[in-house]
């Protein structure tokens, strides 16, 4: 709750966070550009290595090594590269190859649709029930503010399936299925979105489940299984990190009325209340796309992700100064807390 904050407090918080953002963004340079170029080189090297190992995928050691390497490459591409590039974090470099308007990620969700549902809807209306469709992803009840129905009873199973096939859930996110079911969606717009999703799925399946398995010749089936396994591993990891940044027990949700006349300072405070960090080392943060710094990401979604660890102590100090929560915990703690909510709110 933020009842203790005055209008002046919110204005001061906005001024302090705006100043911090300006300080970091004005200091971006070669160190930051080198970072993203280096990560892209690593990711591509890992993918090439994984694909090469799977040319001998009938051999168990090659299958395990190739699958694991490919899974890591896919995680890096989706989390630290794709997600952050499409947020515009690297647009300041004016490199057409690493730009939010040109990047198409290794995922069945079309980039343009994802940027609308995520960059605009989610980051504008973070944790506002009825506005932010990431609250439960349309199938899960994760807060008592959401109406219960008998369909929520098996939601722990829904969540397992959502984790395994998370990229498909994300791909459907911008369709606004609730509007389609209510007959309020524009039919032509919906058809075009479905065509875009279909094209992207065909492209991804053609690559992972046809082209590369064919290249491995007699190892076709084992390579296909390896690619499927790598995609599932990437999906489960992305689901876990994203859910742990949004749904642990101490994270708050808000009613639509909260948006009425909301100031910049109040928006910042809502991001802090509605986010949670995950503790870990540099390699862990890299593999999460630095979404383990979810609080910092929600405050500054277009700030290059390599700067989140740098500003995290200053955000924490600001939270202490204004008696605001700074939700953080180990991965095991955040996973356990999130699953407790999913199980609890499956019931009335």
Q: Give pLDDT tens digits for 195-222.
A: 999 999 999 999 999 999 999 999 999 9
Q: Is the CB of residue 173 less than 8 Å from the CB of residue 120?
A: no
- 157 close to 346: Cβ distance less than 8 angstroms: no
Question: Please, which pLDDT band fits residue 184 given cuts at 50, 70 and 90?
Answer: confident
Q: Is the pLDDT of residue 1 over 60?
A: no
- Asked if residue 157 belongs to a domain, the reply is yes
pLDDT for residue 182: 81
CB 315 within 8 A of CB 24: no
CA distance 273 to 302: 19
Tell me the Cα Rg of the chain: 21
Instruction: Record the pTM.
Output: 0.96
Kindly report, residue by residue over 218-257, the tens digit of the pLDDT.
999 999 999 999 999 999 999 999 999 999 999 999 999 9
Q: Report yes or no on 38 lying in a domain.
A: no
pLDDT at 183 > cutoff 90: no
Burial 210-224 (b: 16+ CB within 10 A, else e): eebbeebeebbebbb
pLDDT tops 60 at residue 141: yes
Question: pLDDT-based confidence at 30, cuts 50/70/90?
Answer: very high
56-66-40 Cα angle (round to 5)? 130
pLDDT, one tens digit per residue, over 69-92 is 999 999 999 999 999 999 999 999
If one counts every other C-beta atom within 10 angstroms of the C-beta of residue 90, the result is 25
Q: What is the mean pLDDT of residues 31-35?
A: 98
Best CA proximity match to 301, nearest among 113, 116, 128, 83: 83
What are the angstrom distances between the C-alpha of 311 and each of 123, 242, 264, 267, 299?
Answer: 19, 20, 19, 19, 11
The pLDDT mean for the chain works out to: 96
Contact 305, 89 (CB under 8 A): yes
Residue 314 placed within a domain: yes
pLDDT digits (tens, 9 = 90+) for 266-290: 999 999 999 999 999 999 999 999 9
Supply the pLDDT for residue 2: 65
Q: For residue 175, which of 110, 87, 113 has the smallest C-alpha distance?
A: 113
In a domain, 39, yes or no: no
Total domains, the chain:
1
Has residue 124 been placed in a domain?
A: yes
Q: What is the pLDDT of residues 320-341, one digit of tens each?
A: 999 999 999 999 999 999 999 9
% of the chain beyond a pLDDT of 70: 99
Tokens linked to 137? 């992803």
- By CB atoms closer than 10 A (0-12, 13-18, 19+), residue 123 is middle
Q: Which residues on neighbouring strands pair with residue 329, listed in sequence order?
A: 278
Neighbouring CB atoms inside 10 A of 262's CB total 15
- Res 327: pLDDT: 98
Query: If you ran DSSP here, which 8-state letter would residue 278 be given?
Result: E
Task: Judge residue 184's burial from the number of C-beta atoms within 10 Å of its C-beta, 0-12 exposed, 13-18 middle, 19 or more buried.
Answer: exposed
CA–CA dist 162, 152 (Å, integer): 14
Contact present, 292 and 242 (Cβ < 8 Å): no
- The C-alpha atoms of residue 224 and residue 210 are separated, in whole angstroms, by 8
| Residue 53, number of CB atoms within 10 A of its CB | 22
Residue 176 has pLDDT above 90, yes or no: no
Residue 58 has pLDDT above 90, yes or no: yes
Domain interval for residue 141: 7-28+107-344
pLDDT digits (tens, 9 = 90+) for 116-139: 999 999 999 999 999 999 999 889
Domain for residue 180, yes or no? yes
For the stretch 105-116, pLDDT in tens is 999 999 999 999
* pLDDT at residue 215, as a whole number: 96
Sign of CA dihedral 61, 64, 67, 68: negative
Residue 294 · residue 83 · CB < 8 Å: no
Is residue 73 in a domain?
A: no
Predicted local distance difference test score (pLDDT) of residue 181: 78
Q: What's the pLDDT score for residue 178? A: 80
Query: Has residue 47 been placed in a domain?
Result: no
């Amino acid at each position: 709750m933020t009842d203790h904050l005055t209008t002046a407090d919110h204005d001061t918080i906005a001024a302090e966070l705006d100043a911090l953002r300006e300080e970091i963004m004005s200091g971006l340079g070669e160190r930051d550009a080198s970072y993203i170029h280096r990560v892209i080189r690593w990711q591509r090297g890992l993918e090439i290595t994984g694909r090469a190992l799977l040319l001998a995928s009938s051999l168990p050691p090659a299958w395990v090594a190739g699958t694991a390497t490919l899974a890591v490459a896919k995680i890096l591409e989706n989390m630290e590269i794709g997600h952050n590039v499409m947020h515009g974090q690297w647009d300041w470099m004016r490199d057409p190859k690493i730009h939010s308007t040109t990047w198409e990620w290794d995922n069945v969700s079309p980039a343009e649709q994802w940027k609308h549902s995520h960059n605009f809807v989610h980051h504008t209306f973070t944790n506002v029930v009825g506005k932010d469709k990431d609250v439960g992803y349309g199938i899960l009840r994760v807060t008592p503010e959401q109406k219960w129905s008998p369909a929520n009873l098996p939601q722990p199973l829904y969540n397992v399936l959502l984790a395994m096939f998370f990229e498909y859930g994300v791909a459907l996110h911008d369709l606004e299925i609730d509007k389609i079911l209510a007959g309020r969606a524009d039919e032509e717009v919906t058809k075009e979105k479905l065509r875009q999703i279909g094209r992207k799925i065909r492209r991804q399946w053609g690559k992972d489940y046809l082209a590369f398995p064919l290249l491995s010749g007699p190892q076709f089936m084992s390579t296909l299984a390896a690619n499927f396994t790598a995609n599932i591993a990437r999906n489960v990891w992305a689901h876990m990190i994203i859910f742990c940044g949004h749904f642990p027990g101490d994270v708050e949700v808000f009613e639509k009325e909260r948006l009425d006349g909301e100031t910049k300072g109040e928006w910042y405070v809502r991001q802090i209340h509605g986010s949670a960090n995950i503790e870990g080392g540099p390699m862990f943060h890299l593999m999460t796309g630095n979404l383990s710094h979810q609080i910092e990401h929600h405050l500054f979604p277009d700030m290059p992700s390599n700067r989140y660890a740098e500003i995290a102590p200053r955000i924490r100090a600001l939270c202490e100064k204004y008696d605001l929560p700074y939700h953080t915990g180990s991965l095991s703690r955040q996973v356990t807390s999130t699953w407790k909510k999913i199980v609890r709110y499956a019931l009335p």
